[in-house]
Amino acid sequence: MTENLDPYENAVAERVNGILKYEFGLIDIFENFKNLSQQLEQSIYCYNNLRPDYSLNYNIPNQVHMKNNVKLKTYKKQNQNRKIPTLI
């Protein structure tokens, strides 16, 4: 899920995947694909419409998405242009 093999690019996706697995029980084994699909759909709905998020100041993701002036957090390193010293 990254373009530059930078783990910070994947942090948000990994966080959401972890929440879906552990908070909503999607790590469990399901009897069939239909049950998994229903649980996944319900979990995503709850995540987007019912679950307050700490990183959004305890707002619900869809509430924040509907606002016009939202300051987005970035999880990338701040100093992307710094030179990494090489050992000789």
Look at 78 and 13; give whichever has higher pLDDT: 13
Note the pLDDT tens digit of each residue in 32-82.
999 999 999 999 999 999 999 887 888 898 988 888 776 666 656 665 565
- Coil, strand or helix at 38: helix
Residue with more model confidence, 40 or 5: 40
> Rounded distance, CA 67 to CA 63, Å?
7
Domain ranges of the chain: 1-88
| Per-residue tokens: 48 | 């987007």
In single-letter form, the type of residue at position 24 comes to F
Q: 6 is written with which tokens?
A: 């930078």
Q: Taking the model in full, what pTM does it have? A: 0.62
Q: For residue 15, what pLDDT is reported?
A: 84
Check if the beta carbon of residue 39 is closer than 8 Å to that of residue 24: yes
